[in-house]
Amino acid sequence: MDPSPSELRRLVDAEAIRDVVRRYCRGIDRMDLALVRSCYHPDAVDDHGTFVGSVDEYLAWVERLLARYDATFHLVANQLVEVDGDVARCETYGVAHHRSSDPDPKLNLTIGFRFLDRFERRDATGWRIARRVATTEWVQQVTAAQTWPIPEDITVGRRGPDDPLYAVAPGFPGYGS
The CATH number given to whatever domain includes residue 129 is 3.10.450.50
Digit-coded pLDDT (tens) for 55-81: 999 999 999 999 999 999 999 999 999
Looking at the domain assignment, is residue 174 inside a domain?
no
Q: Identify whether 90 is part of a domain.
A: yes
Residue 19 counted as domain residue: yes
Tally the domains of the chain: 1
Is 59 domain-assigned? Answer: yes
Q: What is the mean pLDDT of the chain?
A: 91
Q: What is the pLDDT of residue 24?
A: 98
> Domain range holding 97?
5-166
- 96 in a structural domain: yes
141 is a domain residue = yes
Write down the H helix ranges in 30-140. 33-37, 55-66
Other CB atoms within 10 A of residue 53 CB: 15
Confidence class for position 154, pLDDT limits 50, 70, 90: confident
pLDDT, tens only, 95-141 = 999 999 888 888 999 999 999 999 999 988 899 999 999 999 999 99
Q: What residues pair up with 110 in beta bridges, in sequence order?
A: 97, 140
